[in-house]
Chains A and B, each alone.
Chain A
Amino acid sequence: MNRAKALAGAAFAAPAFALMLALLIGPLLVLLALSVTDYRLGAMAVKLVGLGHYAALFQDEVFQRALRNTFLYVALVLPGAVFGGLGIALLVHARVRTRSFYEVIYFLPVTSTLVAMATVWQFMLHPSLGPVSAVFAALGMAGVDLLNDPSLALGTLAMIGLWQQVGFNMVLFLAGLSAIPRDLYEAAALDGAGGGIDRFLRVTWPLLGPTTMFVTITSTIAAFKVFDTVAVLTKGGPLGSTETLLYVLYLEGFQYFRTGYAAAMTIVLLAFLIILSLLQARVIDRRVHYA
């Protein structure tokens, strides 16, 4: 390739590269740098601590618990968010006249602010005032306090997270369903694969592969970043049973002002997200793209 061409190519790539540098790579480098210092917000002097923070993370019981809670939360939300979204999309897609009505209903939680909705949930789940508790009481389980019982609180947050994510995934699956050519369903009907199960296994599920992969990765990341419901509803309690990575990170960085330590946590969180995404992309990608 001649020099002029190479130069032109670099010039075209430059704006995007500059933006990436300023908005992604730069902050990441700053974060990396902070994570090896004992910087506290507003401090005048900074000392290098090397990998000390990372070593401390492995000893930090709060962090370990937050890590466990976060993984548990993801494991609780993910199957429901993906398969629930798919199921609802399949049902809504089959509607003709009521389709847009159901789309709006299921998408509403996505458009609402989770912090505002969390206060609504707080009322709904209130042990003495909330309708949910009333239902539990009517079923003979009076006194169940979904947000203050250490064994139930994380699960309750997961259900709220699911409620919020499932509508978004439904919309993604609906888009995926609309992209499946009608011819393929007709060919399947002629081939004898017109029944619900065969049609799903031969056409719908395989052709939704790329959508499913995308939904799984975005849902995982969204669940990993759970924060607002924790901050509003439980503040990590009871007994730390709902402390999640992002919440602990927020406490360290913005309540205790241990910026360096929080930076190290962020790096670990990022590493998890990148590893998870790569794993999913590598494993699934080969099975869902047929070109």
Chain B
Amino acid sequence: MPTNRRPPAGITLRGIVKRYGPATVLDGIDLDIAPGEFLTLVGPSGCGKSTLLRTIAGFEPQDEGQVRIGDRVVDRLPPAERDVAMVFQSYALYPHMTVAGNIATPLEMRRLSLAERLPLLRLASPRRPRIRREIMAEVEAVARQLDILPLLARKPAQLSGGQRQRVALGRAMVRDPAAFLMDEPLSNLDARLRVQMRTELAELHKRLGATFVYVTHDQVEAMTMSDRVALMEAGRILQLGTPAALYDTPASISVARFIGSPPINLLPAEARADGAIMTEGLRLHAHGALPAGRVTLGLRPEALELAPPETPGTLPVSLRRAENLGAEWLLHAVTPGGTDLVARVPATAPVPERFSLAIDPARLHLFGADGQRLVTRLGLRVPA
């Protein structure tokens, strides 16, 4: 690992459009990734997140728009000259080469001439042994950082999934790239290892101070590791913000649904011209003007609280199923109106047989008929 590491580069995307035949996969993406930022592209499969990453890498050049890495426009550059490294879901290690050979490849490609890489002919180069020694020293330094030093002589087939993952990371790190691109790097690992690697990746990011662009369909990975998250759907970025911003102020129903586990509860409601919002026999009021019509209320499971049955101003529900998560209960219930709700309550006492669910109006999300967030403060009118 070179000690005088280069400063990380930012990535700027402007109006990126990508089409496959009649289908538009990326529909005008604008995104500014700050130097040293851990930015996650998250979304359901087919939302275009991987395509966007591959556009940055140069595998699938965009049809319109501009990609800028650092202060260079890279639109016409092949992948190797874009100065980015990528970690693939499949790791994409060269199976016939040792771990050391895999990690050394990007350096050999850069520092040795074509003749010095060819079989037999390479033996004629007088400077090759010296360059190879330098490369191997750097490979070992990276391997030491990743704790895979004892594995250098092995072939990828002799490694576990987690070890292969590290080798792939090593191959990316050894180049000291302007940015790291990661395409679902944890998807092939088992659940326990995934949690562990999540922590390690976040720590690696902190240690390297490099720019990470991370693609995942797993909102937990997005929430736990990222500085910022870009949530994508149908080729567009629905919302860009910190994990907390996406969770606390989702811009639309789609975002609210995607972020959070168990997912947000959605209650259909009716907004009236006088500012009242009616749902399930409850009467809420908005401080401020609201267009009358159908709206949707979003409640995170932890925004619901247990209340004695028939408390005024609460939702009378019937319990379907209670899941014990140790420290808390997940209560699956259904309202008289037939909407399913999940409440997350502390497991301090046994779950009562009959109960109501109290709503904290300050933690309610209100979405208009078009699914967009309505910014307004809500109050709850409790009948006397």
Which residues of A pack against B, CB within 8 Å? 181, 183-184, 186-195, 197-198, 201-203, 206-207, 209, 290-291
**What is the minimal beta-carbon distance from B77 to any residue of chain A, in angstroms?**
12
Stretch at the interface among B105-113, B243-251, B272-280, B281-289: B105-113
Known: A206-B96, A291-B157. A192 touches B88 (CB 8 A): no
**B73 at interface by CB-CB < 8 Å:** no
Q: Nearest Cβ distance between residue A214 and chain B, in whole angstroms? A: 17
- The reply on B92 being an interface residue by CB < 8 A is yes
- Beyond A198-B109, A198-B117, is A190–B95 a contact (Cβ under 8 Å)? no
Asked if A202 and B95 make an inter-chain contact with CB atoms under 8 angstroms apart, the answer reads: no
Q: How many angstroms between the C-alpha atoms of A181 and B156 in the bound complex?
A: 15
Binds A, one of B79-87, B135-143, B346-354, B372-380: B79-87
Question: Which residue of the partner chain A has the closest CB to B90?
Answer: A183
Which of B59, B97, B118, B171 is within 8 Å of A186, CB to CB? B59
- Which 7 interchain pairs have the tightest Cβ spacing? A192-B109, A183-B92, A187-B92, A206-B96, A291-B157, A191-B106, A290-B95
Residues of A within 8 A of B97 (CB): 206
A257 to chain B, nearest CB (A): 53
Bound Cα distance A184, B96 (Å): 12
Report A-chain residues with C-beta under 8 Å of the C-beta of B110: 192
Q: How far is the CB of A185 from chain B (nearest CB, A)?
A: 9
User: In the complex the two chains form, is A191's CB within 8 Å of B105's CB?
Assistant: yes
Contact with A along B292-305 (1 / 0, CB 8 A): 00000000000000
Q: In the complex, which residues of chain B have a beta carbon less than 8 angstroms from the beta carbon of A187? A: 86, 88, 92-94, 171
Contacting pair B114 A192 (CB below 8 A): no
Contact A203–B85 (Cβ < 8 Å) = no
**B155: interface (CB < 8 Å):** yes
Check B155 against A189 for contact (C-beta < 8 Å).
Answer: no
Collect the chain A residues with CB atoms within 8 Å of residue B89's CB.
Answer: 183
Measured between beta carbons, the chain A residues less than 8 angstroms from B59 are 186, 189
The reply to whether B94 and A202 form a contact with Cβ atoms under 8 Å apart is yes
Contacts of A189 in B (CB 8 A): 58-59, 78-80
Whether a CB of chain A sits under 8 angstroms from the CB of B150 is no
Name 12 extra pairs, CB < 8 A, besides A201-B117, A291-B157.
A184-B94, A189-B58, A189-B79, A190-B79, A190-B84, A192-B109, A193-B109, A197-B118, A198-B114, A198-B117, A201-B119, A209-B96
B57, CB-defined interface residue at 8 Å? yes
